[in-house]
Structure 1
């Protein structure tokens, strides 16, 4: 099952990093996708304390944060995990959020024409399905973080 975490405000880099680390520490979380507007191109001219585009560390791996976190999509298997997710969100998002599970799938599970155009007819691993953007290079927009098994 997929759920959507919808904060009432766009999250900053520090909040995103802390929240994702806690969410990724849950055993039942299979995939995490963050969604939001891209950082402005002129951000490099801002003083360092106002820059949000930076490298964050998730489960020991460095990830370049390229969007303001407006939504977080999680793939989980047990409905009971939602209670744990809600507690984590209460800790990191004090100004409020919604957890939506209205749709059966927020993250695509089957290959589409766009996937085939981007990657060809080769077999695509399950964790890459739904991660395509036909206008960008894959390495620029997707970071796969492996969980310790």
Structure 2
């Protein structure tokens, strides 16, 4: 299967409201298969130092809604890796970026995400689990943080299949 990966790198970190609007607009595109948000972590609690264990009340750690699915924003969005099924909507994606990021952005086509199981996938899921992921939903390959539970780090937003 032929897939295209696009990296969108806004010149500023995005607020939760801008991230929500952007994600909803790109999920309207028919060719979007997977979106990965990368950025500065927004922890719930302080993990080290004299204030260890105290809550962090960051204003941008919010629950946003992407196509009706609640998504807890655990990073300050600074980069998006988007997998497209083909290149037919690259111009539309660029137009969305021009509209949403008046301060500037970089858009690159390349290889940014893993497409084969990693050692971390085998550690996290085991050999049987990796086999199941390969058979069921290949979008989960490489989406593993070995220190977190998958429910905390991956949210699946299903696309609506429109009948014509």
TM-score clears 0.5: yes
* Cα distance in 2 for residues equivalent to 1:29 and 1:56: 19
Q: 1:96-111, aligned counterparts within 5 Å?
A: 96-101=104-109, 103=110, 105-111=111-117
Residue number in structure 1 paired with 2:86 = 78
* Pairwise CA distance, 1:39: 1.4
Say what the alpha-carbon RMSD is for the aligned residues. 1.2
- Out of 149, 153, 156, the residue aligned to residue 137 of structure 1 is 149
- Out of 11, 32, 37, the residue aligned to residue 34 of structure 1 is 37
Q: Greater CA radius of gyration, 1 or 2?
A: 2
Tell whether 2:63 aligns with 1:60.
no
* Pairwise CA distance, 1:80: 2.9
* Pairwise CA distance, 1:43: 3.5
- Out of 1, 4, 7, the residue aligned to residue 4 of structure 1 is 7
Unaligned runs of 5+ in 1: none
SS of residue matched to 1:10 = coil
Residue number in structure 2 paired with 1:16 = 19
* Cα distance in 2 for residues equivalent to 1:90 and 1:18: 13
* Cα distance in 1 for residues equivalent to 2:20 and 2:124: 29
* Cα distance in 1 for residues equivalent to 2:151 and 2:83: 22
Q: How many residues align?
A: 142
More strand by share: 2
Unaligned runs of 5+ in 2: 46-54
SS of residue matched to 1:63 = strand
Residue number in structure 1 paired with 2:126 = 120
* Cα distance in 2 for residues equivalent to 1:39 and 1:98: 24
Q: What TM-score does the superposition give when structure 1 sets the normalisation length?
A: 0.90
Post-superposition Cα deviations, 1:78-116, rounded to whole Å, max 9, x if no partner, equal 223111001111111110001011x3x211111111101
